[in-house]
Structure 1
Amino acid sequence: MLASNLTRTKFLVQQRHNMKLYLDTANTSEWDKLLPLGLFEGITTNPLLAHRAGLNYAEIDWHAMYARACDLGAKELHVQVYGDPNSYADWAKRIYEISHNVGIDAVIKVPLVEPALRIFPTIKALGGKTLLTACYDSKQALIAHALGADYLAPYLGRMRDQGLNDLEQLATMNKLTQSGPCSVLAASIRSAAHLVEIGLQGTDCATFSPNVVRELIIEDSSTSAWQEFENTIAALT
């Protein structure tokens, strides 16, 4: 019986899984509000998120951005290549140098399209962390595994919009990458409920917007209970 219980305990410990969380925005005012919560491993950005934050991606002061992220406690800042694929490696090298000087890890995001994939090995050879982004099909996990990417980012909400079974595809991606260095970083997450579904799949990481963060941390019943505690203390003093 004792041996059986020990075996079961060992199995349960092995099954425990901590999903790392990332904040998906280029809006630095949101960084200031949400990173101090201590929930996040880092920050993810791309040209579209920069545009939504009122930034011109090509003109961003990345040294200032990395310094700010570092000061707020982020361990990683994920940034995406852009423009002429032939310029990707030089841009990535500059980003890696900036992040090294600041003291935070840069993760270079490369879209899963042929012109970018041809440059990926050169970027990887620079020695920094890498991510393959805009993933829409579990077959692309084979690419991430073969190329040795550190992360693979499936766009789950957008997949669901297209009528795809995003969770089924995600489960396959998790299996295909589990024997290698690549972590699945779930993206395009539409709600806290969606985030829970992703976590139940055993996914390594997830990145989500400030709106989903607020949905995650604000629970009306918890707020009511807290207020009741405070009201009780106030009535006794």
Structure 2
Amino acid sequence: MASLSSSSGSMRLFVDSSDIQAWKKWLPTGVFYGVTTNPLLLRESNVACQTKSIGVLSNQALRLGAKEIHLQAWGKSSDALLRTASELASIDSSVVVQIPATYEGLRAASKLKDMGARIALIIYSMHQALLALGIGAEYVTLDVGKSPSDEESKAKMCSSVQGLVRRASGTTKQLVANVLSLDELTTCLVASSPANQANSFALTPSAIGELFADKFTEDMVNEFEAAASKNNFSLFL
């Protein structure tokens, strides 16, 4: 597997879910930098798409050790997006507001950035990365799970976007979100040169389960434990 390093910053992993039980299981491992959510994930977890409900949810993530929380704004117009985005940004300084890379989204994002909020621009194609770099977003978030491309094309897009981010020589980081499986994660890493690897990945709980699972390791641990339990020798000095 390719090296987990990047010229644009250290690797960060996120739990891509609004399920508190998933957060309770995976955040205490210390592997994950934070969590990512959106209206679809909120609906799956029966959390109202309202600032108050999301604020309560965010506090849960912080108590469980999340250092960063990515929350997606909603609204059909730039004014509506700006209003919800501002409310989300006010929840905590650890919040990064995700905004889709649409015309209305860019108008809202640029105003939000001028207000000092942290911004992630959500993209589904490589050329949209230019929009995120143009407004100086903290993250360019590539949703590979919802991308219309095939697996190989997704991997190449991850590498190409990171190439753009690296050449921009700014503070923008790429986050590859909605990673659905370990195969998808591995493909994105292997397809990239070390210089063009994405900075961060947001994995679904099912992908995280695959990441932690390794039968050979489990078998070896069982052997070690069996040997330890049968070792009754005492050493006297």
Shift of 1:60: 5.1
**Residue among 156, 169, 174 paired with 1:184:** 174
Q: 1:81 to 1:25 in 2, by over 3 A?
A: same
Shift of 1:82: 0.9
Shift of 1:155: 2.0
Distance in 2 (alpha carbons) for counterparts of 1:14 and 1:44: 21
Aligned length: 220
TM-score (normalizing by structure 2): 0.85
Distance in 1 (alpha carbons) for counterparts of 2:200 and 2:160: 15
Shift of 1:163: 7.3
Q: 1:43 to 1:236 in 2, by over 3 A?
A: same
Alignment map for 1:195-234 (pairs within 5 Å): 195-200=185-190, 201=192, 202-234=197-229
Residue 216 of structure 1 aligns with an amino acid whose one-letter code is: L
Alignment map for 1:1-237 (pairs within 5 Å): 18-58=10-50, 61-85=53-77, 86-100=79-93, 105-133=94-122, 135-159=123-147, 165-178=153-166, 179-200=169-190, 201=192, 202-237=197-232
Equivalent pairs: percent with the same residue?
A: 25
Aligned residue for 2:115, secondary structure, equals: coil
TM-score (normalizing by structure 1): 0.85
What's the RMSD between the two structures over aligned residues? Answer: 2.2
Comparing 195-204 and 149-158, the one that deviates more: 195-204
Residue 128 of structure 1 aligns with an amino acid whose one-letter code is: A
Gaps of 5+ in 1: 1-12
Distance in 1 (alpha carbons) for counterparts of 2:62 and 2:52: 16
Aligned residue for 1:158, secondary structure, equals: coil
> When you count helix as a share of all residues, which structure comes out higher?
1
Gaps of 5+ in 2: 233-237
Distance in 1 (alpha carbons) for counterparts of 2:52 and 2:40: 13
Residue 118 of structure 1 aligns with an amino acid whose one-letter code is: R
Q: Compare relative contact order (CA 8 Å, sep 6+) and give the higher one, 1 or 2.
A: 2
